[in-house]
A and B are shown apart, each in its own frame.
Chain A
């Protein structure tokens, strides 16, 4: 009877932990996710909106957008902002970074994406992937950290360029010249449709 009770408990918890990854699962889960995303991209019956939201649903659980937002704003910027401003900023940032990612997908044309074996770097895990495009090999590095929920992505390097660092230098300039409110005004502006 006790066993059965545990079974019920475990079965209740299973769907919850589906998104979280263990360190040894990163390689296989990401491979599977990349393949799902590629099959969505290759499905030409989907409209762009449908396609993007399907990809979003697939990839969302593996990114820590709140941490990415915080890191991009930097410590002093975050501390300067009020909780309400922080919340709005995080929402706007997530939208922006997703739009950035999605617009890159528009340029995708049947290229093969190769994932290497994840490497442990201090207390992070780096997953290198590359894509041969226009005769050149392009590297994309996914960086994971151990969150409460499991391993999550906190930064992506494209050709050695960290997305977080790039936002940081832009935001820092904005904060230096103005306040957090001015940054929010800029972020509120709708993204031009790429």
Chain B
């Protein structure tokens, strides 16, 4: 009797689980979400947005439109940058990527990041983040020595994480708002606060104050921007595929990018 029951239980549960499993793989069922609705269909699609508490978590764009007085220009510049990418940058990056394999470009990026240390230090100190300032210093020392002049992020491998801060973040930390979004030629999305920050960062970098000598780079402001450009170019070469995918998939690329930029910056500022 007992055994019979056990067999029945086993049989039932097998039957059940098979049913559950076979319901999923049918391709037509997979496409629609209707296979896993939490309630009767009518209830789900007839409700007047009954989701208590969730709306507060997200910005209501309809109620508070984004302050974007330059939207016309920004959209145009986004288009310009995209065209620039397709006809100029993409072929150049493809060649660059062909010559330099990814690990080398990662190393170049690491070197640039390592050289950013003075700026990061100043900004950590300005925000009174002494612990981060200390760990950034540790990272600089470790990576400059054991990391072969910053080529390898040895510090991260042993668990000393980066806490990179820029002037835009410092300004944000002290309550300066984002300001209007501005899309820059070549450099892409930014905003008023971060552009100001980028300029300030540039003047914080001690390299800028070193007496100009023929072998110094940068010797002047143009070369300085050239370096910033080279850094961005190299980094972009690492993320070309990601950029292309997002651009292809976005319903409307400009607001997507503008929003993603602001969200990412806000997160960096809050850390």
Please list the residues of chain A having a beta carbon within 8 angstroms of any beta carbon in chain B.
4, 7-8, 11-12, 14-16, 18, 53, 56-57, 60-61, 64-67, 69-71, 74-79, 83-84, 86-87, 90-91, 94-96, 99-100, 103-104, 107, 123, 132, 134-135, 137, 145, 147-149, 154-155, 157, 159-162, 164-176, 186-187, 191-192, 194
A107 touches B54 (CB 8 A): no
Contact partner of A192 (CB less than 8 A), chosen from B17, B39, B248, B263, is: B248
**Bound complex: CA of A67 vs CA of B250, how far in Å?**
20
Q: A78-B49, A161-B263 are in contact. Are A71 and B58 (CB under 8 A)?
A: yes
B242 touches A74 (CB 8 A): no
Q: What 4 A-B pairs have minimum CB-CB distances, sorted nearest first?
A: A160-B267, A172-B61, A15-B17, A83-B45
Q: Is B110 an interface residue (CB 8 A)?
A: yes
Which residues of the other chain, B, contact A161 by a CB distance below 8 angstroms?
259-260, 263-264, 267
B106 touches A168 (CB 8 A): no
**Looking at the complex, which of B29-37, B167-175, B183-191, B212-220 is the stretch in contact with chain A?**
B29-37
Q: Is B83 an interface residue (CB 8 A)?
A: no
CB contacts between A and B, total, < 8 Å: 176
Total interface residues on B, using CB and 8 Å?
A: 70
Please list the residues of chain B having a beta carbon within 8 angstroms of any beta carbon in chain A.
5, 8-10, 12-13, 16-17, 20, 24-25, 27, 30-34, 36-39, 41-42, 44-46, 48-49, 51, 53-55, 57-62, 65-66, 102, 106-107, 109-110, 153, 156, 161-162, 238-239, 241-242, 244-245, 248-252, 255-256, 258-260, 263-264, 266-268
Minimal Cβ-Cβ distance residue in B for A175: B62
**Bound complex: CA of A141 vs CA of B247, how far in Å?**
22
